[in-house]
Structures are given as structure tokens and as C-alpha cells.
Amino acid sequence: MDDTGAPVPVAGRVRRVVSLVPSLTETVAVTAPGLLAGATDWCTHPPGLDVERVRGTKNPDVERIIALRPDVVLGNTEENRPADVEALRAAGVPVWMTEIRTVDEAFVSLRRMLTGACGVDAPNWLDEAERAWDLPAPRRRLWAVIPIWRRPWMVVGRDTFTGDVLARLGIDNVYAGHSDRYPKIPLAELVAARPDLVVLPDEPYRFTAGDGPEAFPGIPATLVNGRLLTWYGPSLVRAPRALARAFQLL
């Protein structure tokens, strides 16, 4: 059973894996690089990854994936569309879906995916990541707004992996109680919330020193590597310390 409870009929030894999520691609590539037969155009890690490309997470080339004859396709409930998953399953392709909204869920989900769907041993980096996230209680807590897009402005809302990552570091999301997971909030309302901090990642929208901080006059803004906030995989090993440095929490 995958994270959604769906049965995944992976038979025999797994030799060919297609990943439809950048962080899962990196997870497999670092753990068992010979397994990857395909990945999305957005799968940028590890650098130099040389596999067949199957378009994006939201518009995968289903026919191309089927032609690659994967033993299993890896997806995520937030990243991939149900219609694409069902089309693959209808064609007889086993699809393993992950569902990850907290750091602890990431450890459990990745371990199950690697050992259950991919048939490989749990890697040492996963144990190292768990140790890295065994953090002491934060010395202080800050309220933050975390935009992920502008025109229109969108922010991180409830029940997200990003929100849990930040909360573990002592940074609480102003919109954690919003009814939407990624609500559209007018800029005037974001500024009026008077957070202690604005967190500006470089993905999915690429905020930069000249594109983002100027919208929040008088509010400290921190530009961060979005991969450290949103990717669940080998980047989890260095994420807590790198983010703590970025937020000057060390």
C-alpha cells in the first residue's frame, strides 16, 4: 500500500523507475541511481542527471511514460494530478503515491517508498537526516509570512511540509490556520499582518533581492533556498543547519 492506501502491484525485482516529483527523483538517484529510467523536466538534482524526460509534474507525457516500461512510477498527491495517475494505472503501470506534509512523515514515507516500491535498502543518508532534525527546542519564536508567488500574491497556509520545516526552527506561519493550503492574500493584508519576518524562497516563484523584499517595507525579509524548504529527500540532511544560518538562529 502506498501513502494513500492504494495497492501497488510491484512484481519481482524493480529495475526501472520513473519519478514525477523532483525531490523523489533526487531520492532515488542518490540511493540507487541505476533504477531511474525517467524523470520530469523539472528534476534538476542531482546535477547532470541523464535520464529520459517526460515533461512536467502537472502535464506528464503519459504515453511516453508507458513506453519506458517502468516497474513503478513515483508520484505525490500535491504535485501530480489524479487524472494522470489514473491513466497510468489504467494502462497497467504501478504507481506509488507519496503524501508528505511534515518532516516526520517524510522520513516514514521515503523509507517505505525506497524499501517497498523500489526494493532497495534504506540509505544511510536517511538516518543522518533524522538525526539532523532531532533539534532542541527553539530559543525564540518568530511569526512569518511565506509567499510562494506574486501577481497574485500567494502564501503558505495550513498543513504544509514547508510550514512544519519552519515551525521546527521556531518560525511560525501567520497563515497556518487558514482554510486553504496555499491561499491568495492581497499584499495590503500581508503587510498589515505585521509579521516578524517575511520568508522569500526562490521556488516556485524566484524571489530575489530586487524582486520581493521591496513589497514589505519595514519588515525584515530573508531570501532562502526553496529546495531546503520544500524538498523531502537528501537535502533534508543539510536543511536544518543551512536554514538556521539563513535565519541567523545559530
20-65 confidence digits (pLDDT tens): 999 999 999 999 989 999 999 999 999 999 999 999 999 999 999 9
For 73-90, give one letter per residue: b (16+ CB within 10 A) or e: bbbbbbbbeeebbebbee
pLDDT at residue 250, rounded to an integer = 60
Is the Cβ–Cβ distance between 30 and 236 less than 8 Å? no
Is the Cβ–Cβ distance between 38 and 65 less than 8 Å? yes
Inter-helix orientation angle 103-112/161-169, to 10°: 120
pLDDT at residue 249, rounded to an integer = 85
Task: Tell me whether domains 17-122 and 142-246 share a fold.
Answer: yes
Architecture of domain 17-122: 3-Layer(aba) Sandwich (3.40)
Which H helix or E strand runs over 89? Answer: helix 82-90
pTM recorded for the entire structure:
0.93
- Spans of the chain, pLDDT less than 50: none
CATH number belonging to domain 142-246: 3.40.50.1980
Residues 6 or more apart in contact with residue 232 via CB below 8 angstroms: 23, 27, 100, 103, 106, 109, 110, 161
Instruction: Give backbone dihedrals phi and psi of 149, rounded to 5 degrees, phi first.
Output: -160, 155
pLDDT at residue 168, rounded to an integer = 96
Separation between Cα atoms, residue 14 and residue 216, nearest integer Å: 50
pLDDT at residue 74, rounded to an integer = 98
Per cent of the chain over pLDDT 70 is: 100
pLDDT at residue 154, rounded to an integer = 98
Residue whose C-alpha cell is 523523489 = 24
Domain ranges of the chain: 17-122, 142-246
